Amino acid sequence: MKRTVDGEQKISIIMPCKNEENTVGICVDEAMRMLAEHGLDGEVIVVDNGSTDASAKRASEHGARVVSEERPGYGSAIRKGMSEAAGDLIVIGDCDTTYDFMEAYEICAMLSGGYDMVIPDRFAGRIEKGAMPFSHRVGVKVLSFLGRCRFHTDVRDFHCGLRGLTREAADKIKLHTDGMEFATEMIAEGARCGLKIGQMPVTLGTCKGLRSSKLRTLRDGFRHLAYIFKTTSHQRR
């Protein structure tokens, strides 16, 4: 049976953004098209995280609501977006065109159908050639394995940049991290709170614009690793 979204629910799509002027407009258009094609009430929030280019202007021109977050970091930007979101269902996605926001409909449908959080799995879907370096593939798989063991969850891809949760779940979990380890914290908190976490295949594509990667393999990997082994969030009840 095909999953659908309750038409009474509002969708908030959050895009953390730093110097993405070449791609943010494409992603906003795609997210808007997904909402329109499915007749959904929704908003696109672009969180400008200290851009020095025209990212904020481009996002606004394409119809997004732009908010600013001065504290640097992926986690800081998303937490700001979640605090601004008015939706019953919240989707989080990178605005570098590596994810297809048309696939966000399935995330919304799963959330509408009873899941509290949805973490897509790139390895179960399709990874375009050149979209994920070998070192990242290995790192993600190792860190995801450690995360599954540590937080007692079956989530296979801890670092997927397209994910979602309900407003109720967002209000229940406690999120504090500022950097890329936020992706791990979100899952750890979901497991701690006993949330129903769904998974689905997703496509990871190559970036369609000129940009330099914000991922720092060793630095970000160690931040995830430190969170996994040092955090006590999963023990708080």
Q: Is 27:95 a contact under the CB 8 Å cutoff?
A: yes
Burial 207-231 (b: 16+ CB within 10 A, else e): beeeeeeeeeeeebbebbbebbeeb
Position 178 scores a pLDDT of 95
Position 235 scores a pLDDT of 45
CA 153 – CA 193 distance, rounded (Å):
11
Non-local (6+) Cβ contacts of 80 within 8 A are: 47, 67, 69
Question: What backbone torsions phi and psi does residue 153 show, to the nearest 5 degrees?
Answer: -135, 160
Position 217 scores a pLDDT of 59
Instruction: Output the CA–CA distances (angstroms, integers) from residue 98 to 27, 58, 89, 127, in the order listed.
Output: 9, 18, 22, 10
125 lies in some domain: yes
Q: Which tokens belong to 164?
A: 């979602």
3 lies in some domain: no
pLDDT in tens, the chain (237 residues): 689 999 999 999 999 999 999 999 999 999 999 999 999 999 999 999 999 999 999 999 999 999 999 999 999 999 999 999 999 999 999 999 999 999 999 999 999 999 999 999 999 999 999 999 999 999 999 999 999 999 999 999 999 999 999 999 999 999 999 999 999 999 999 999 999 999 999 999 999 865 555 555 566 667 878 899 886 544 444
Position 32 scores a pLDDT of 98
The three-state secondary structure class of 41 is strand
CA 125, 144, 31, 205 torsion: positive or negative?
A: negative
236 lies in some domain: no
131 lies in some domain: yes
Domain that holds residue 157: 10-231
The three-state secondary structure class of 201 is strand
Instruction: Output the CA–CA distances (angstroms, integers) from residue 187 to 48, 144, 182, 197, 223, in the order listed.
Output: 24, 10, 9, 9, 15
User: Residue 117 is part of a domain; what is its CATH number?
Assistant: 3.90.550.10
Position 237 scores a pLDDT of 40
Instruction: Domain count for the chain, please give it.
Output: 1
2 lies in some domain: no
Position 208 scores a pLDDT of 84
Rounded to 10 degrees, what is the CA torsion of 201, 92, 166, 41? -100
5 lies in some domain: no
Question: What backbone torsions phi and psi does residue 126 show, to the nearest 5 degrees?
Answer: -135, 130
214 lies in some domain: yes
